[in-house]
Structure 1
Amino acid sequence: MKTFIQKYKSRCPILPIRLLLLVLFGALLSSCEKALEPEYPDFLLSEEALFENAATVDAALANIYAGLRDNSPVSGGVDGMGVLLGLYADELDYYRENAPIDNAFYNHTVLPNNTAVGNFWNSSYSLIFSANKIVEGLEDAPLEAEERNGFMGEALFLRAYLHFYLAQLFGDIPYIKTTDYTENASVSRMPLTEVYQMMETDLLTAKNLLPAMEPSGERLRASKGVASALLARLYLHTQQWEKAVAESTAVITEGTYALQPDLNLVFLKESPSTIWQLKPEFEGSATKEGETFIFDVGPPSLYALSASFIADFETGDLRKEAWTRELSDGSQSWYHPYKYKQNYYGGSSTEYSILFRLAEQYLIRAEAALQLGNLQEVRNDLNVIRLRAGLDPTAANTQEEIRNELQHQWRYEYFTEQGQRWFYLKRSGSANEILAPIKPGWKATDVLFPLPANELILNPNLNPQNPGY
């Protein structure tokens, strides 16, 4: 079954065939995922039976979260955006031998047949298909209204969340809201404005349906705060500055989340600044980020922070001490990200993979306020970040100085987290200025990745290919 599903995902990720429904959901419900799933029957369920039972719907949703953790653009492993967009921007150097994918991202030679780009596309649309099956199945599900609403809110949020990254990576994309093969077979790309409108609609609906806090208290599932955090990010990327300020302020002042003052505790699973996180598959396991980035001897076997990144740390910035770690062989030194500090199997998992944390909302609000010309509000939010990092309040006064300070804080607060550095460079229009001098293969068209070549063959309606490829 596993081989069959893998072939299906690789060949037809956004053109789901309804005959695969039992296979797909059988795979979902028989997953080895232990950390998130409730108990469920160990036999294949019919479509009708799946949606008659809250526990099985919950398990199906839990497996989408597991998919995010294990095989999606936001996975913390070697094929996730933290690594690949860290190489694509200016955060990471790579040391893997015979690593054509790393080389392509690092040197900006990504082509339409790049398997990592194909996986960004395929894994996202496969998870979107699963979310859509839940949305469709819940319409007439004989569940209590509160249960159905919560599940629907999660599925709509996850659909929007996955489309958000597809739009950032590829530009105009199809916004898939159905599992109907006949409708999806000839799907075309939509203008980004339409994609963002559909995303906003899904998120606003989800926010109204979701609980204030998910039941476990571990912030593992979507809640109203999670939907608001993504809405704030969406409004920033769509230049809806007032809405971005309002939504980020709602998250900051809501009372559920608080900045963790100790930088060494920010990425622990109990951190009050975490809005949404993903639990490792097995209790005692480290996060994929910890397993990927941490090394104990030099030279590194995988990745290290670039020398320029380390050199540009502001003097006295405690994030260098708390969130990076130096290794030396006596003649040369390397630094690795040390936000996540567990990289071994232990008695318990001390850290979960964080997808949203509160500091981003301060930076979103500052960036939107800058666009609105509210410079004092920008300084206030930047100083929240600076003071926690052990730095003095910003001395920036002019709009240009404040803009530079904002870019600096995005860079050093969110390095190697789901491509935040790259998305800032892209969003702010500074990618060419920053990357052209240090990336010989850089082209202005590199702000978007190519659509996977196989997808254009399977569905010519997805043409034209993005410029530059």
Structure 2
Amino acid sequence: MNLMNRNWGQLIVFILLVLFMISCDHFLEVDYPENQISGEVVFQDDATVLAALTAIYAHLRDNVLLTGNSNGLNVIMGLYSDELEYYGTPGQPLDAFYNHVLLQSNTSVEQLWNQSYYTIYMANSLLEGITENSHLSSETIQEIKGEALFIRALTHFYLVNLFGDVPYVIQTDYTLNSRVKRLTENEVYKAVVADLKAAQSFLSTSGASKGRIRPDKCTATALLSKVYLYMEDWQNAESESTSIIENTSLFSWETDLSKVFLKESTTSIWQLKPKLDGYNTLEASIFNFVSVPPPLMALNEHILNAFEEGDMRKTSWISSVANNADVWYHANKYKNTSTTSTTEYSVIFRLAELYLIRAEARAHLENLNGALNDVNKIRQRASIEDLINISKEELINAILQERRVELFTESGNRWFDLKRTGKAESILSLIKPNWESKDLLLPIPENELLVNPNLSPQNAGY
């Protein structure tokens, strides 16, 4: 792969990233030995190797997939689906997502691919660096191994859902990576599950005591339940989500919508901490606007009309800005844009999604009463009526509707739900004039195909 063509260059970049994060990022509170920049030094003590691990989370927060800025799934796939209206400069990469005119050369697509595989490279570097390492404590090795496997699984999970067949990269060796081949979606899913099960075996449940900013066993379990949902393995999706929901010593239901995204929320399973003390989330900065027309994007009529009358999520999680008779709406889940007092972290997994995963799994397993109980818990918090006496098909559709209004602008969930349930074509073809069936997958970046012919053929239609 083009991104991983020069191992030494990548290693130097990784080490420099660790050094930069140690000096600038309040995630990391270690002193790095002066005048020492080598791969071996990173793995010489617990503090520096943990700093290297945390640098990966900073990379996710600031650059790729889970980032709250315009390069992340929140924005890109919100524009690609039916959540966001684009107001930025015409002809820019995000405009191509919104209008479904993506080319193989789109720089946002290229960044998704390259930065994701760089994340995987960093995780693999850690896994290789801790192997047969006598300088680190056994506890640190367990933590690093579990979290690195989780990161590798997480990133491949999103890649396979964005691009379809993709390579599953498990090493940093240039010779191997330069000719790596794409695996089928089923093969990728099997590898994701294997990595997550291994991660579960290495991780503890200590994340809650550390501010929920480090993935732990519960985080791996939450992702595994989501993976099983996408695989339509309903029994395992139900089982894994239940293990989180029933862990009431770590997670508790929050009935106040205004507190769901606060940093101390007990519904958060995993969240990313802002870069500096006093700062707040990138999501708050990118989604909120005070002048109109909006500088980049706003919520569109389709998501606004999706809420039932009286749904308090529309009141609590959406705000408006008016100019005479014209009104624009924006996501307001993250409200604090100040740089003086940190009140919010970027939530990646939260309890509500686990209830919705279990509800959907239970409905498919014919446990309609159990599914109703789960989805009604979500609805009750939003102050809308319980669902009663509905068929299995109606219940599944109702659960997908709840996912839409509960998880809007979060990690591309709406797009992935449309895609995995086979509804993308029928819904988006009506509102996206340029929609084509090929849009179910993003194109493989053309530079990657040129560097590694084994990645061919290109996804159909591009």
TM-score (norm 1): 0.95
Aligned partner of residue 176 in structure 1, secondary structure: coil
Q: Does 1:69 align with 2:61?
A: yes
Is 1:305 the equivalent of 2:299?
yes
Write out aligned runs for 1:125-140 (5 A). 125-140=117-132
Report the counterpart of residue 365 of structure 1 in structure 2. 358
2:205 is aligned with 1:212: yes
| C-alpha contact (below 8 Å) 2:283/2:346 kept by paired residues | yes
Instruction: Report the equivalent of 2:346.
Output: 353
* Structure 1 residues 315 and 342, CA gap change in structure 2 (3 angstroms): same
- Asked if the contact 1:150/1:210 (under 8 Å) is kept, the reply is yes
CA contact (8 A) 2:94 2:108 kept: no
Unaligned stretches of 5+ in structure 2? Answer: none
2:256 aligns to what? 262
Q: What residue is the counterpart of 1:86 in the other structure?
A: 78
1:226 aligns with 2:216: no
The aligned counterpart of 2:276 is 282
Q: 237, 242, 256: which one pairs with 1:244?
A: 237
1:57 and 1:235 mapped to 2: Cα distance? 32
User: What CA deviation, in whole Å up to 9, does each residue of 1:242-284 have, x standing for no partner?
Assistant: 0000000001101211221100110010011000000111111
The aligned residue for residue 35 of structure 1 is 26
Q: 1:3 maps to what in 2?
A: none
RMSD of aligned alpha carbons? 1.5
Give the 3-state SS of the residue equivalent to 2:207 in structure 1.
coil
| Distance apart, 1:12 and its partner CA | 2.4
How far apart are residue 460 of structure 1 and its match?
0.7
Separation in 1, partners of 2:222, 2:88: 35
Identity %: 44
SS at match of 1:437: helix
Alpha-carbon distance change, 103 to 55 in structure 1, aligned in 2, over 3 angstroms: same
| Offset, 1:202 | 1.0
Match of 1:271 in 2: 265
Residue 274 of structure 2 contacts residue 345 of structure 2 at CA under 8 Å; is this kept in 1?
A: yes
Please say if residues 257 and 273 of structure 1, whose CA atoms lie closer than 8 Å, have aligned partners that are also in contact.
yes
Q: Cα offset for 1:182?
A: 1.1
Q: Helix, strand or coil for the counterpart of 2:460?
A: coil
1:105 to 81, 84, 97: 97
Give the Cα–Cα distance (whole angstroms) in 1 for the partners of residues 17 and 94 of structure 2. 31
- The structural deviation recorded for 1:403 is 2.2
Decide which of 162, 166, 175 is 2:168's aligned counterpart. 175
Q: How far has the Cα of 1:201 moved from its partner?
A: 1.1
Name which of 450, 453, 458 aligns with 1:460.
Answer: 453
Whether 2:16 is the aligned partner of 1:26: answer yes
CA separation of 1:240 and 1:130: change in aligned 2, threshold 3 A: same
Deviation at 1:401, TM superposition (A): 1.6
Normalised by the length of structure 2, the TM-score is 0.96
Q: How do 1:136-155 residues align onto structure 2 when only pairs under 5 Å count?
A: 136-142=128-134, 143-155=136-148
Q: Which residue of 2 aligns with 1:184?
A: 177
1:216 deviates by 5.5
For residues 292 and 347 of structure 2, the distance between their equivalents in structure 1, rounded to whole angstroms, comes to: 27
**Number of aligned residues:** 458
**1:327 and 1:20, CA in 2 relative to 1: closer, same or farther beyond 3 A?**
closer
Task: State the match for 2:191 in structure 1.
Answer: 198
Q: 2:114 aligns with which of 109, 122, 132?
A: 122
Match of 1:286, as an amino acid?
Answer: N
Cα distance in structure 1, aligned partners of 2:278 and 2:345: 11
Distance 1:19 1:309, change over 3 A: closer
